[in-house]
Amino acid sequence: MEREATMVIVAEGFQASDNVAGWSFKDLDVLLSDIKQVVKMRTIGSSFIYAFLLFLAMLAIFNTQVLSIFRRRKEMGMLMALGLTRLQLIRLFTLEGALNGVLAAIMAAIYGMPLLIQLARNGIGLPAEMMDQAGWAIGSRLFPSYGAALVIGTAFLVLIVTTVVSYFPTRKIAKLKPTDALRGKLT
């Protein structure tokens, strides 16, 4: 019919044929292009938020590690005075920081996995007035989508950051003379 839309359900992999005059087949990529564009823009925006939150986590980890290592400089001086080389001292405290990161990842998994599973099953409820302002049909619940690559990649990145921020302050204190470290001096 002229100026009318017709919805036809087709099998997967269907290819449009030109034998119907006045009818043009539009696949899902064409029909959903506006929504896919909005999702793409939101994904870019959420990537900035993800990077910002990751930066805050790195800053908190760095501050904690620096405070821990600088408070233990007398202990480090004693270990150096007992014969530990600077390289061994750096390895010891860097390994300790890395193990703290592993423990944090385990604790985060214990607390976080039930929450992630619950959100994936039940979704996040949205108020009715928010759905009206969206501008397109949206369900009353949003179901987050996070894959294993995102979860494991983030945990691995935080583990690497924990190890790196354990290394740098330890290296600075390991350059001290054992007598200065025992006295608590930093120069």
Residue with tokens 């994936």: 120
| pLDDT value of residue 11 | 75
Instruction: Render pLDDT for 43-100 as a digit per residue (tens, 0 to 9).
Output: 787 888 888 988 888 788 888 878 887 788 888 888 888 888 889 988 998 898 888 8
Residue pair 104/156 in contact by the 8 Å Cβ criterion: no
pTM for the whole thing? 0.63
Look at residue 18 and tell me whether its pLDDT is greater than 60.
no
| pLDDT value of residue 110 | 92
Dihedral angle computed from the Cα positions of residues 97, 102, 107 and 113, in that order, rounded to the nearest 10 degrees: 140
